[in-house]
A and B are shown apart, each in its own frame.
Chain A
Amino acid sequence: MKRTPISVWAALAVLAAVTAAAAFAPWLVPGATDQDLMTGITGPGPGHPLGTDDLGRDVLDLLIAGARTAVPGAFAVAAGSMLIGNLIGLTAGYFGGWADTLAMRWADLMFSLPALLVAIVVAGVLGGGYGLAIAVLVVLFAPTDTRVVRGAVLEQRHRPYIEAAVLKNLSAWRIMTRHIWPNIASVALANAFLNFAYALVSLSSLSFLGLGVAAGSPDWGRTLADNRTQLLANPWAVIAPGLAVIATAAALNIVGDWLHERVDRRGRAR
């Protein structure tokens, strides 16, 4: 077994920091959204390592508080689509037939549409809102899980160990959950991580367009949007949340890739 590469450790560290920020933001930075119009927008200086935005809010505090909005939503999208996608993918792949054809046609159709674009249109027409954005993204992301899981199930479906389980008269549910799923769980999990990253990017994009969280909320995409007119006064108010999104998404992608590669290696080492 190869050693875990440094990049994965770095990614895990980033994720730990972001998770901590998301979990403890109310205690770490209780006054993150307090406005201080007297100060207004300033560059980095004493007391404000990343400066303040035009409402006088500390950018670093906003960044920490923003994790609490940005991360749980993306996590909900990844987890929700993983649940739906795994159920549909397992069933479609295991039973095959017309249900499978139907599920796959649907997944193909959804897959060919850019999720963000559909989310913009639907969330926009419905009137926006964070919960709505999450629900729309779950529906749009589930097909990728479905495809991945179904593909993995099909690979296992006609292996002798599954057919032997069929011949032992085990129930379909037991075979799907106890025999197939443990063998494809790492693929499903790796895909969920990639979805997590993409959900983070998509949700922050929606917030940036004003279709996600409410104005003034401490969300990375929103902070970025709020401060883009002040680009020259304090660029850090734009750079910092941008980098936060990129770093978190990259960390999720790295962990997802690493999980995927481990599966690949195990497959080859059999």
Chain B
Amino acid sequence: MGWGRFALRRLAGTAVVVLLLSAGVFGLLYLAPGSVQQTLLGTRPATAETIAAIQARYHLGDPVTVQYLRWFGDVLRGDLGTSIRTGAPVSGMLADRVPLTLALTAYGTLLAALAGIPLGVLGALRRGRAADRLVVTAGVAGLSAPPFAVGLLLLVVFAGWLGWFPGYGTGEGLADQLWHLTLPAAALAVGAVGMLLRFSRAALVRELDQDYVVFARARGLAAPVVLGYALRNSLVPMLTAAGLVVTGMLAGTVLVEVVFALPGLGSLLVDSVTFKDVPVVQALALLLTLLIAAVNLLVDIGYALADPRVRLGGGAS
């Protein structure tokens, strides 16, 4: 099959997904209770002027498909409309808040990967022993903990009782910002650690049971080489987990940003949802869709890198 066709097919698939979801995002306008016009007016008075402005912008008289196409065209030109709540352009609001959320997600992913994967490998290598049971228990606990609860518990313990970390705010300068983001990132990472740990442990346990591992040991390959074989083969399920972790973390940022009062995309989403600021919600939903699609595309490319059968179109066996 080769790289070119593979990349083309995956890109086309991603584009279809984004288009489908963008239609859903546009549909949010019609989902909101009350008429579209009311929704877009928000708390503004329904004067002839404001209604005309809305008409000019949204062409509510046109068929829905035409409205969608216009809206999508505006989006492609970078025009995301204006916030009902503040009247400011949505694109600017997003631009202000994207860096924080991305930094938080990246930080959280890093923490999760640094803790989750080594622990999963440790559990698989010590299968059935005390260390493994501990790892498995930690994994279950992590998976069961909602980020907001973890965040608050961390706040109570590390900011309240121990006072090691700041409780609120984003800090000034790189080091201080990292300092401030540590607790939120840790709150995000706890669930992700649980997931990464489970996937990597399960994948490695499965691979270590395979014939090729026994054969490799039987012909005298050194233990690190054998482990390398097994790790390489458990890469694909780990990539799946990594994808789920990153997309799940985008959802987690909403909760964590609220808990720690951080001005990111998540807290903006909650504020906009509460205020029924539909244009902002739409823009956020679209942005998150793009981010998720990008992550999934990266995971797909990762599969192809990790497994020659994917890119060379080999058989199942």
Contact surface of A with B, Cβ cutoff 8 Å: 7, 109, 112-117, 120-122, 124-127, 197, 201-202, 204-205, 208-211, 221, 224, 228, 231-232, 235, 238-239, 241-243, 245-250, 252-254, 257
Interface SS majority for chain B = helix
Our pick among B149, B247, B250 for the contact of A224 (Cβ within 8 Å) is: B149
| CB of B145 closer than 8 Å to a CB of A | yes
What are 23 of the A-B contact pairs (CB < 8 Å)? A113-B21, A113-B292, A120-B254, A121-B273, A121-B281, A121-B284, A122-B31, A125-B278, A125-B281, A126-B31, A201-B146, A208-B146, A208-B148, A228-B259, A231-B155, A231-B156, A231-B160, A245-B146, A246-B145, A249-B143, A249-B144, A250-B143, A253-B140
Q: How far is the CB of B204 from chain A (nearest CB, A)?
A: 15
- Which residues of chain B come closer than 8 Å to A209, judged between CB atoms? 254-255, 258, 270
Given contacts A7-B137, A120-B269, A120-B270, whether A238 and B288 have CB atoms under 8 Å apart is no
Q: How far is the CB of A190 from chain B (nearest CB, A)?
A: 14
| CB of B110 closer than 8 Å to a CB of A | no
A39 to B251 alpha-carbon distance, docked (Å)? 38
- Which residues of chain B come closer than 8 Å to A243, judged between CB atoms? 149, 153
Q: How far is the CB of A269 from chain B (nearest CB, A)?
A: 14
- B149 lies within 8 A of A120 (CB): no
- B255 lies within 8 A of A208 (CB): yes
Q: What would 17 more interface pairs be, CB under 8 Å, given A112-B17, A114-B247, A120-B251?
A: A115-B251, A117-B251, A121-B281, A124-B274, A126-B31, A202-B146, A204-B149, A205-B147, A208-B146, A208-B255, A209-B255, A221-B146, A232-B160, A238-B156, A241-B149, A248-B144, A249-B144
Q: B153 — nearest CB in chain A belongs to which residue?
A: A242
- B146 lies within 8 A of A205 (CB): yes
Q: How far is the CB of B141 from chain A (nearest CB, A)?
A: 6
A228 to B144 alpha-carbon distance, docked (Å)? 20
- Which residues of chain A come closer than 8 Å to B161, judged between CB atoms? 235
Q: Which of B156, B250, B276, B292 has the most CB of A within 10 A?
A: B156
Q: Which of B140, B147, B150, B153 has the most CB of A within 10 A?
A: B140
- B153 lies within 8 A of A204 (CB): no
**0/1 per residue, B17-32, Cβ < 8 Å to A?**
1001100000010011
- Which residues of chain B come closer than 8 Å to A126, judged between CB atoms? 31-33
- A125 lies within 8 A of B259 (CB): no
Q: B248 — nearest CB in chain A belongs to which residue?
A: A114
Our pick among A7, A113, A121, A224 for the contact of B269 (Cβ within 8 Å) is: A121
A224 to B31 alpha-carbon distance, docked (Å)? 30
- A121 lies within 8 A of B28 (CB): yes
Q: How far is the CB of A195 from chain B (nearest CB, A)?
A: 12
A221 to B151 alpha-carbon distance, docked (Å)? 13
Q: A205 — nearest CB in chain B belongs to which residue?
A: B146
A117 to B178 alpha-carbon distance, docked (Å)? 25
A218 to B28 alpha-carbon distance, docked (Å)? 30
Contact surface of B with A, Cβ cutoff 8 Å: 17, 20-21, 28, 31-33, 137, 140-141, 143-150, 152-153, 155-156, 160-161, 243, 247-248, 250-252, 254-255, 258-259, 269-270, 273-274, 276, 278, 281, 284-285, 288, 292, 296
- A250 lies within 8 A of B140 (CB): yes
- Which residues of chain A come closer than 8 Å to B251, judged between CB atoms? 114-117, 120
- B144 lies within 8 A of A201 (CB): yes
- Which residues of chain A come closer than 8 Å to B31, judged between CB atoms? 122, 125-126
Q: How far is the CB of A258 from chain B (nearest CB, A)?
A: 11
- Which residues of chain A come closer than 8 Å to B250, judged between CB atoms? 114, 117
Our pick among B144, B153, B254 for the contact of A250 (Cβ within 8 Å) is: B144
Q: Which of B161, B248, B254, B284 has the most CB of A within 10 A?
A: B254
A250 to B139 alpha-carbon distance, docked (Å)? 10
- A246 lies within 8 A of B144 (CB): yes
A88 to B147 alpha-carbon distance, docked (Å)? 32
- Which residues of chain B come closer than 8 Å to A247, judged between CB atoms? 144
- A124 lies within 8 A of B146 (CB): no
- Which residues of chain B come closer than 8 Å to A121, judged between CB atoms? 28, 269, 273, 281, 284-285
Our pick among B20, B248, B273 for the contact of A109 (Cβ within 8 Å) is: B20
A248 to B144 alpha-carbon distance, docked (Å)? 8
- B273 lies within 8 A of A205 (CB): no
A59 to B254 alpha-carbon distance, docked (Å)? 26
- Which residues of chain A come closer than 8 Å to B28, judged between CB atoms? 121-122, 125
- Which residues of chain A come closer than 8 Å to B149, judged between CB atoms? 204, 224, 241-243, 245-246
- Which residues of chain B come closer than 8 Å to A109, judged between CB atoms? 17, 20
A127 to B273 alpha-carbon distance, docked (Å)? 8
